[in-house]
Amino acid sequence: MLPPKAITRFALLVAVFFAALMWPWPAWERAYAAYFRGFGDIAFSQFWFWSAGQVRFLDLHSPTLFNDLDAATPGELPGHVQLPRPDGVKDTLMVLMNRNAPGSIGQLRTGSRYIDYGPTAVLLALGLATPIPWRRKAWLAAVGLVLVHVFIVVRLSLTLFNAGFGADKKYALCRPGPWITDVFVRAENVLADNPTVSFVAPFFIYLVALLGVYGWRSLRGSNLSKTGNSAARNRSIGPASTVTPGTSARPRD
């Protein structure tokens, strides 16, 4: 078991690194939000296994938002479309489209800091505070970032499905039954709408990534050890001797 001093030091370092990562957010909000929207466009160019479903991520602060929305949607925009405004941490407009239902779109707002940057900052703070060599910290960060982005896709998917593609909308992709709807709503309440999850989930992702990095190292070391032992055993046996037919292998006097 770790001594209390080590645990306290780790917790303090996590808090310091997390504060250091969150403090300059206003300075790079626009740049990170642009990355978040680009990632969303790629991840949801097709919604799950429905090829007709697509989501576009637009900048809510853009002065040309209406033109961006017009360019992102096929055909003409419906006449009743109203543009939502930025609200607090919500800086991104998600536009839901169904190619089989033209003339109808959905609009949902989200925030790059709450959905994406917060969990990422927690993960990086945990990795930086871990007392391991920097090379392993880099591997830990790489594995963790992949997993945290999978988590982000799951969070967004639940919101997009419950509020749009799986709801009673013209652009819906399916009409799930009440039992399935209840399961997805409960999952969204836990994973997407709960602010605590932005701090708790990265911790579990960090543990999985840490076990993955050290598990791979142990597995690789075990394989190398087996290879080395096999080579040493072959050297100790030496080359096999050959015996000519009709002769004796016993040495002469």
Q: Is residue 45 part of a domain?
A: yes
- The residues with which 56 forms a beta bridge, in sequence order, are 95
**Residue 251 φ/ψ region, left for φ over 0, alpha for ψ in the -120 to 50 degree band, beta for the rest:** beta
Domain count of the chain? 1
| Contact present, 140 and 126 (Cβ < 8 Å) | no
pLDDT tens column, 49-74 = 999 999 999 999 999 998 999 888 87
Q: Is residue 237 part of a domain?
A: no
User: What is the C-alpha to C-alpha distance for residues 236 and 224, in angstroms, rounded to an integer?
Assistant: 18
Q: Is residue 238 part of a domain?
A: no
Residue written as token pair 């609200």: 87
How many Cα atoms are found within 13 Å in the side-chain-facing hemisphere of 163? 20
Q: Is residue 229 part of a domain?
A: no
pLDDT tens column, 93-140 = 999 999 998 888 999 999 999 999 999 999 999 999 999 999 999 999
Residue written as token pair 């039954």: 177
Q: Is residue 252 part of a domain?
A: no
Beta strands in 9-154 (DSSP E): 53-59, 92-98, 105-110
Q: What is the mean pLDDT of residues 234-245?
A: 52
| Contact present, 229 and 196 (Cβ < 8 Å) | no
Q: Is residue 232 part of a domain?
A: no
The residue range of the domain holding 102 is 4-74+85-223
Q: What is the mean pLDDT of residues 41-56?
A: 95
pLDDT tens column, 195-238 = 899 999 999 999 999 999 888 666 555 554 555 555 555 555 55
Q: Is residue 80 part of a domain?
A: no
